[in-house]
Structure 1
Amino acid sequence: MLKKIGIGLGVLIILALIFGEGEESGNSSGSANAKVNYMNQWVQSSYFKVRVIGVSETTRALDEYMCDPAPSGSKYVVINIAIENTDTESRTLIESGELHIEYDGKTIKYDTTESCTLLVDGYISFMDDIGPFVKIEGRVAFVVPQRFAASDMFYQVPRGYEKIALKSAPPA
């Protein structure tokens, strides 16, 4: 009986080693082997090429009529992005991407963009359809605590697991 349990446990460990490299761990920003993508570099995901054009931080309202100032102790991180549909048919974004912060050995994920920007000009909506080989540019905004700097953040692209560091690439 103990032999069967030992064999079963061994098989589980082997399977965990083989399949344990989850989609995220292979692209983790903290991984020594992972390629780090930086602002102004195009990154290919499943259906889209994505590029972070710029990033800004503010505590002010994102829109005079639709948004309030950032909650006390928080700020808005506004990411300017370009997205190109590289598929042969129209695609819906479904999501606006995620903001990840590496903190104290953990990845903090902000997976919801600021909802007050949903109908504001210049902001990308998860409902946007993009035709084949069409490129759009716009912004997405996240609310984060003020203690985090944008240069320590990563933008995970819509409908993909690729991450882009919110800072310029180091000199070659």
Structure 2
Amino acid sequence: MSRSGAITFKGNPMTLAGDAVETGKPAPDFKLHFFKEGMQELTLADMKGKPTILSVVPSLDTPVCQTQTKKFNETLGELGDRVNAVTVSLDLPFAMNRFCGAENITNIQSASDYQDRTFGNNWGTLIEELKILCRATFVLDADGNVVYAEYVPEVTSEPNYDAAMEALQGQLQAA
């Protein structure tokens, strides 16, 4: 299924592949890749046991995506290892790793959907026309259920940081 006109990019309507993720439902599975002493996989199963925030960006080579990643990294610093935090894009894991190292991004892991786009298709974030991910933020409870989902309506805009962090804090208080 596709969702025509679900978001815009610089004012132009775009189509998102897949269904929108809904709060209150189990999170869809995914297989992402990251580079840490070799290529490694990250799946939904790896996220269970702690509240999780997934920050989805089109590319860490763009200013808004960099700002989003830096803001979440800064905000998540005070939570330590009580949460899982992942920036997801279609950038190659090596490029993501290089950016995070250069910018001292240590509180949020970067992982790529470049190989088979299971995240983009299963989470409804793949922009069909551009073949990149849209901007979105998701928060999961420790059991892997979606408690917050935001598909940013305009790709060049920033997400609602406060709402995402409030949902994440709510999960920490509930635990």
TM-score norm. by structure 2 comes to: 0.31
Structure showing greater relative contact order (alpha-carbon pairs closer than 8 Å, 6 or more residues apart): 2
Structure with more helix by fraction: 2
